[in-house]
C-alpha cells in the first residue's frame, strides 16, 4: 500500500482514478474468492452425498385391472441402482428380472419412482405376492460402507377380487 501511495505522489497520478482501479481489483478478487468458496461447498456436498446411504421404500401398488406399479420412494435423494423380482408363493417370477441394475437419480421434487408391470392380481390362486428389491448406492463399489447396499423383501396378501393388496408384517 505504501508503494502505491508513493507512486501516486511521485507520478502525480489522479487519486480518484487509482482508487477506482483498486476498487475494481478488490471486486475481482472478492468475486474469485466467492466462486472458489462456492466450488468448495459443492465438492463437500458431493462428498457428503457419496458417503450417505440411500433411504429407500419399495412397494407394490395396484393401479388397474392387470396392472401393478413397483414404486420406490427415496427418503433422501441419494442416487442408487436396483433390480427386483416379483414372485408368487411358489417363487414363480411374475415381474422384474432386469438385464442389468437400473440407475436412479431421485430429484427432490419427485422422490417417487414407479415402473408399471402387467400382473393380473386376480389370477394368482393363493392370493400372495412378494417383492424382492436389491439396491446399492452408486458409490458402494468404491466405498463399501454399511447400509449402502441391501435387499428389502415385502410380502403382500391379495384381496379375493384382486383389486387391492395389503402388506403382511
54-65 per-position pLDDT tens digit? 999 999 999 998
Residue ranges for the chain with pLDDT beneath 50: none
What pLDDT was estimated at residue 13?
Answer: 77
The C-alpha cell 402388506 sits at 167
**Host H or E run for residue 52:** none
Note the pLDDT tens digit of each residue in 80-116. 999 999 999 999 999 887 789 999 999 888 889 999 9
What pLDDT was estimated at residue 139?
Answer: 92
Could you tell me the three cell numbers for 116? 408399471
What pLDDT was estimated at residue 8?
Answer: 76
What pLDDT was estimated at residue 85?
Answer: 95
The C-alpha cell 386376480 sits at 122
pTM above 0.95, yes or no: no
Amino acid at each position: 500500500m505504501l508503494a502505491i501511495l508513493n507512486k501516486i505522489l511521485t507520478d502525480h497520478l489522479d487519486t480518484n482514478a487509482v482508487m477506482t482501479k483498486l476498487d475494481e481489483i478488490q471486486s475481482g478478487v472478492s468475486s474469485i474468492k466467492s466462486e472458489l468458496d462456492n466450488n468448495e461447498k459443492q465438492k463437500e456436498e458431493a462428498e457428503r452425498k457419496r458417503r450417505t446411504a440411500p433411504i429407500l421404500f419399495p412397494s407394490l401398488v395396484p393401479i388397474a385391472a392387470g396392472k401393478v406399479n413397483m414404486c420406490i420412494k427415496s427418503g433422501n435423494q441419494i442416487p442408487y441402482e436396483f433390480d427386483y423380482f416379483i414372485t408368487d408363493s411358489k417363487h414363480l417370477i411374475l415381474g422384474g428380472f432386469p438385464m442389468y441394475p437400473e440407475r436412479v437419480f431421485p430429484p427432490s421434487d419427485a422422490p417417487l419412482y414407479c415402473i408399471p408391470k402387467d400382473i393380473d392380481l386376480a389370477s394368482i390362486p393363493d392370493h400372495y405376492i412378494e417383492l424382492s428389491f436389491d439396491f446399492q448406492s452408486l458409490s458402494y463399489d468404491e466405498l463399501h460402507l454399511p447400509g449402502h447396499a441391501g435387499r428389502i423383501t415385502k410380502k403382500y396378501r391379495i384381496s379375493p377380487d384382486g383389486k387391492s393388496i395389503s402388506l403382511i408384517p
